């Protein structure tokens, strides 16, 4: 491309020179030969200078490396990373995220294990405390049981004869009543033993009697003593074959033992009881009905 440019310039110069020589009249050329030669020298000099300049420019241009224009797409491709690089970067980013997530999971797991360990230790401590408390309560309960047993034994210091007599009077008075009714009768006997108004023994209380002007004869504080019911109960004690009577006697023995031990069927310490009737309930209003009996004090 640059060589063609040189040829064109040289050709233009020679064409111009030829044209000048043709257009001038021959006589003028002859007359002005010297002047024309001088001008031609000047023109040639100028043209030569121009040619030299052009040649210098061409040499300079040849010396300067040609810069190729890069299409926009190529520039974008050079500016933007390739798909493989992008994939590698994405993969590296994902790996970094995975690593961070794993670290967080491990930290969370460690915290969870720490909490579980603390909870387990707390639970063990609470369990140990509970066991200690339970053991202390059990020991205290055992001590209390021993103390209660000792007290009961002290209170229940009675003879077999007392137990038999009390069981039989309960059977004769309340054999067909509830266990509470049986125990209430036993309590009346024991309340009288403790009272200064009555004998201080079970036998003395049960067999206590006195002359009644109203009846004109001797009466007993407990009617089964006078009508023979107590004597029959004593005779059959421990030898009953009738299931109902045997079960009733067992309840009476149980109630007698409870009464001897100080167990109460009522809150008040009643000294009297009878088959419930309106006259007694009206004249002794501060009593209590248990089954068929009415328990009261004067």
What pLDDT was estimated at residue 151? Answer: 41
Taking CA 86 as the corner, what is the angle to CA 81 and CA 91, rounded to the nearest 5 degrees?
155
Q: Rounded to whole angstroms, how far apart are CA atoms 124 and 132?
A: 12
What pLDDT was estimated at residue 75? Answer: 46
Tell me phi and psi for residue 239, to 5 degrees: -130, 15
Q: Is 216 left (phi over 0), alpha (psi -120 to 50) or beta?
A: left
Q: Rounded to whole angstroms, how far apart are CA atoms 65 and 274?
A: 143
**pLDDT string in tens for the chain (298-residue length):** 555 665 566 666 666 655 555 554 444 445 555 665 666 666 566 556 666 666 555 555 555 455 455 455 544 444 455 565 655 566 556 655 555 555 455 555 555 555 655 555 656 555 555 555 555 555 554 554 444 444 444 455 799 999 999 999 999 999 999 999 999 999 999 999 999 999 999 999 999 999 888 889 899 999 999 999 999 999 999 999 999 999 999 999 999 999 999 999 999 999 999 999 999 999 999 999 999 999 999 8
What pLDDT was estimated at residue 40? Answer: 60
pTM over 0.75? The answer is no
Placement of tokens 């040609």 in the chain: 66
Residues listed for the chain: 298
3-class DSSP assignment, residue 212: strand
Q: Rounded to whole angstroms, how far apart are CA atoms 149 and 129?
A: 29
CATH topology of domain 160-296: Arc Repressor Mutant, subunit A (1.10.10)
For the chain, what are the domain ranges?
2-63, 160-296
């Amino acid at each position: 491309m640059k060589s063609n440019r040189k040829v064109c310039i040289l050709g233009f110069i020679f064409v111009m020179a030829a044209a000048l020589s043709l257009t001038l009249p021959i006589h003028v050329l002859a007359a002005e030969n010297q002047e024309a030669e001088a001008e031609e020298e000047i023109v040639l000099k100028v043209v030569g200078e121009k040619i030299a300049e052009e040649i210098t420019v061409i040499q300079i241009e040849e010396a300067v490396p040609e810069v190729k224009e890069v299409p926009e797409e190529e520039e974008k491709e050079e500016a933007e990373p390739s798909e493989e690089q992008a994939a590698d970067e994405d993969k590296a980013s994902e790996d970094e995220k995975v690593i961070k997530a794993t670290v967080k999971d491990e930290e969370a797991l460690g915290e969870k294990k720490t909490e579980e360990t603390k909870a387990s230790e707390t639970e063990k401590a609470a369990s140990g405390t509970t066991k200690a408390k339970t053991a202390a309560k059990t020991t205290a309960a055992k001590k209390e049981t021993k103390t209660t047993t000792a007290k009961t034994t002290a209170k229940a210091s009675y003879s077999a004869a007392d137990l038999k007599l009390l069981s039989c009077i309960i059977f004769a008075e309340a054999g067909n009543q509830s266990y509470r009714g049986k125990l209430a009768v036993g309590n009346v006997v024991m309340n009288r033993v403790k009272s200064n108004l009555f004998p201080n023994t079970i036998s003395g209380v049960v067999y206590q009697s006195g002359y009644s002007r109203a009846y004109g004869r001797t009466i007993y504080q407990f009617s089964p003593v006078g009508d023979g019911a107590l004597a029959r109960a004593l005779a059959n004690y421990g030898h009953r074959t009738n299931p109902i009577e045997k079960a009733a006697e067992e309840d009476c023995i149980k109630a007698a033992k409870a009464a001897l031990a100080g167990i109460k069927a009522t809150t008040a310490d009643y000294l009297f009881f009878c088959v419930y009737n309106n006259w007694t309930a009206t004249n002794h209003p501060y009593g209590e009905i248990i089954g068929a009996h009415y328990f009261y004090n004067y």
